[in-house]
């Protein structure tokens, strides 16, 4: 099945003809892999250099520091797609999008290792055990800390994580199939005159279905470990998306005025109201041809 919107995306990337277009996502995947290894290095640095006392002291904070650094870089890269738009258009005209979008792809790709990191059991990483006991405690499941037995802890965490993971994947899948890769890659941020008003029913339920899907993936990682680390990492991911939503909605209010401001008050950004559950499940289960 041909991916919806791919022809429009190719049209806006004239230098990436044929298979050259895969260079951009391939670079983004490579960046995501490197970022995940960077996060793991932050996690185990004190164990590798155990003779450096200060590393052992700050060890409990290092996983969160690494996560915050990667999140900040992702936010900066994606943010430049918005902040440099007028500059790029004045310099490069219709080629502005082609010039800037690889940076956006890299920024989006950094969200993947952030999500993977929420699934990562910090205290169990090789090659050695944590230096600081607090690192071990912050890696433990809160259910165990609250007195649940090991079997119950595992069953609850896997059930919650698996269910939320599946839900998040379905939301992202439906978003791509419904709106197309051209909308997902913000082609119309640089070519607003070519955009079409989206009136799909899901927008009466959620303002940002794709972002909700990504946040659900982070929540799945949080419940997979259900530790202090995974909860705090999820909060960093959530804040990252809230910043991006604010950035996008400033643009949307400028474009659509008071109408969008009123819409914001009526429709949630990242959660579904109980009365809209049926519409939401219709969206994620409808098969696209």
Domain segments of the chain as ranges:
6-285
**Closest by Cα among 1, 4, 2 to 182:** 4
Pick from 137, 139, 73: which is nearest to 107 by CA?
A: 73
Question: How many CA atoms lie within 13 Å of 109's alpha carbon, on the beta-carbon side?
Answer: 19
Q: Is residue 1 pLDDT above 60, yes or no?
A: no
Q: What is the rounded end-to-end Cα distance, in angstroms, of the chain? A: 8
pLDDT digit string (tens) for 221-264?
999 999 999 999 999 999 999 999 999 998 888 888 888 888 99
CB count, 10 Å around CB of 251? Answer: 15
User: What integer best gives the mean pLDDT of the chain?
Assistant: 92
pLDDT of 196 above 80: no
Token pair listed for 69: 């650094």
Q: Please state, for a pLDDT cut of 90, what percent of the chain lies above it.
A: 76
Question: Quick one: pLDDT band at residue 193, thresholds 50, 70, 90?
Answer: confident
Q: Write the pLDDT tens digit of every residue in 263-289.
A: 999 999 999 999 999 999 999 987 655
For residues 234 and 214, is the Cβ–Cβ distance under 8 A?
Answer: no
Phi, psi dihedral angles at 169 (to 5 degrees): -65, -40
pTM (two decimals)? 0.93
Least confident of 41-55, 158-172, 244-258: 244-258
What is the average per-residue pLDDT within 86-96? 93
Model confidence at 77, pLDDT cuts 50, 70, 90, reads: very high
Residue 197: its pLDDT value, please?
A: 66
| pLDDT for residue 17 | 87
Task: State residue 161's pLDDT score.
Answer: 97
Q: Tell me the C-alpha distance between 39 and 27, whole Å.
A: 18
Query: Please, what is the Cα angle at 251 between 185 and 11, to 5 degrees?
Result: 30
> Left (φ > 0), alpha (ψ -120 to 50) or beta: where does 179 sit?
alpha
Write down the pLDDT at residue 257: 85
């Amino acid at each position: 099945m041909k991916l919806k919107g791919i022809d429009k995306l190719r049209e806006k990337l004239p230098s990436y003809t044929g298979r050259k277009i895969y260079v951009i996502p391939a670079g983004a995947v490579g960046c995501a892999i490197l970022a995940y290894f960077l996060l793991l290095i932050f996690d185990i640095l004190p164990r590798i250099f155990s003779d450096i006392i200060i590393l052992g002291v700050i060890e409990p904070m290092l996983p969160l520091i690494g996560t915050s650094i990667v999140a900040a870089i992702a936010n900066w890269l994606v943010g430049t797609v918005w902040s440099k738009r007028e500059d790029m258009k004045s310099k490069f005209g219709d080629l502005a999008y082609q010039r800037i979008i690889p940076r956006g792809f890299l920024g989006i790709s950094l969200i993947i290792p952030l999500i993977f990191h929420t699934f990562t059991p910090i205290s169990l990483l090789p090659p050695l055990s944590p230096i600081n006991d607090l690192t071990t405690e912050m890696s433990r499941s809160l259910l165990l800390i609250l007195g649940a037995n090991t079997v119950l802890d595992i069953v609850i965490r896997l059930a919650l994580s698996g269910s939320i993971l599946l839900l998040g994947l379905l939301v992202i899948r439906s978003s791509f199939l419904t709106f197309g890769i051209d909308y997902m890659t913000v082609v119309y941020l640089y070519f607003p005159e070519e955009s079409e008003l989206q009136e799909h029913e899901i927008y009466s339920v959620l303002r940002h279905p794709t972002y909700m899907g990504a946040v659900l993936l982070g929540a799945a990682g949080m419940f997979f470990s259900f530790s202090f680390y995974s909860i705090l990492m999820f909060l960093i991911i959530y804040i990252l998306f809230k910043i991006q939503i604010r950035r996008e909605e400033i643009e949307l209010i400028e474009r659509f005025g008071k109408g969008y401001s009123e819409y914001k008050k009526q429709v949630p950004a990242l959660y579904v109201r109980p009365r809209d559950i049926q519409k939401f499940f219709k969206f994620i289960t409808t098969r696209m041809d």
